[in-house]
Structure 1
Amino acid sequence: MAWYFVQTLMGCIGSVGFAVLFNIRGRKLLLAAGGGALAWAVYLACTCNGLDIFAGLFFATLAAALASELLARAVKAPVIMLLVPMLIPLIPGGDLYYMMSFLVRGQYEAFGQYAQRVLTEAGAIALGIICVASLMNIIAGLRVRARGGK
């Protein structure tokens, strides 16, 4: 349990670091930090319970994207301002490093394996963002129609 808490805290701290780098201040900084912790906690919960990395990243991105959409509306801020720091803990930095390292050293077979892994992980993150953005767009369209708009 302590390991899980420390991991979640590190996800929060990573999000805070990038939020500060992006000049996010005040309440929005706390929201971005909480979202980063949420994303990493969901990822850990998924991967520790038998799901693969793709599913873990997908569900964690769904949670972060949904949180950023809802919180951005609450604080009247752009969604991207909260979403980017929330997703920082999910970035496959280690795999990306090894992929490039193998490319530079000319180890093309290992490079190909890591490239496939990085593209799969990035695809899971992108798919999660697209699903939530599409859902929010559909909901907004339904609200407009319910009010008698076009």
Structure 2
Amino acid sequence: MVKQIVLAFFGSIFPAILFNIDRKKIIWGGFCGAIGWTAYLVVYNHINSNVMAYFSGAFIVGIYSEFMARKLKTPAVEFSIPGIFPLVPGITAYKTISYIVDQNYSLAYSKGMQTIAAAGAIGFGIMLSSTTFRFISMIIESSKNNKYERR
């Protein structure tokens, strides 16, 4: 498990370098991928559901990205894009194409649906975490403004 987390860390650093993210933020992008993969592993080991594990990992990546974006005053995308790289279901997409080439359409359909479900869970996890974080920030900001208006 530790080996997978370390590989997820490096699997997030290299896309950050590829996308020319600021050098000071590359390590934080690596931590984003490692934290997301850790969440994936924990949920998968407890629930044994790929879709929920992908969703949980992406949700954690999104929350971490939004938090670090506020802390380092940078766009959240600089952390979320490298952070989801370890979660991308590349092997299932590859197997889908491989089964299509081999004309094994029933397995291709099965793997294709797994790929689509995983991609949807990742997208929904990032979207929901971003929306939740911004909603909570808006409520906190609103309560601060109301507090100052009462004085």
Shift of 1:80: 0.9
Residue 144 of structure 1 and its aligned partner are, at CA, apart by: 4.7
Residues in 2 aligned to 1:101 and 1:47: alpha-carbon distance in whole angstroms: 25
SS in 1 for 2:47: coil
TM-score (norm 2): 0.89
Question: Alpha-carbon deviations, 1:46-73, whole Å to 9, x = none?
Answer: 1122331111111111111100000011
CA–CA separation in structure 1 for the residues paired with 2:11 and 2:4: 11
Q: What is the aligned partner in structure 1 of residue 88 from structure 2?
A: 91
C-alpha displacement at 1:81, in angstroms? 1.3
The match for 2:76 is 79
Q: How many pairs are equivalent?
A: 145
Equivalence for 1:103:
100
CA distance in structure 1 between the aligned counterparts of 2:51 and 2:123, rounded to whole angstroms = 11
**Overall identity of the aligned pairs, in %:** 26
Note if 1:120 corresponds to 2:117. yes
What is the CA–CA distance in structure 1 between the aligned matches of 2:141 and 2:32, rounded to whole Å? 29
3-state SS of 2:39 partner: helix
Moved more, 139-148 or 115-124: 139-148
Cα displacement (A) at 1:79: 0.9
**1: CA distance, partners of 2:135 / 2:69:** 17
Q: What one-letter code is carried by the residue in structure 1 that aligns with 2:133?
A: M
1:141 maps to 138
Structure 1 gaps, min length 5: none
Paired residue type of 1:114: K
* 3-state DSSP of counterpart to 1:139: helix
Higher Cα Rg: structure 1 or 2?
2
1:7 to 4, 17, 25: 4
Which 5+ residue runs of structure 2 have no aligned equivalent? 147-151
Which whole-Å CA distance do the structure 1 matches of 2:12 and 2:89 have between them? 14
For residue 120 of structure 1, give the secondary structure of its aligned residue in structure 2: helix
TM-score calculated relative to the size of structure 1: 0.89
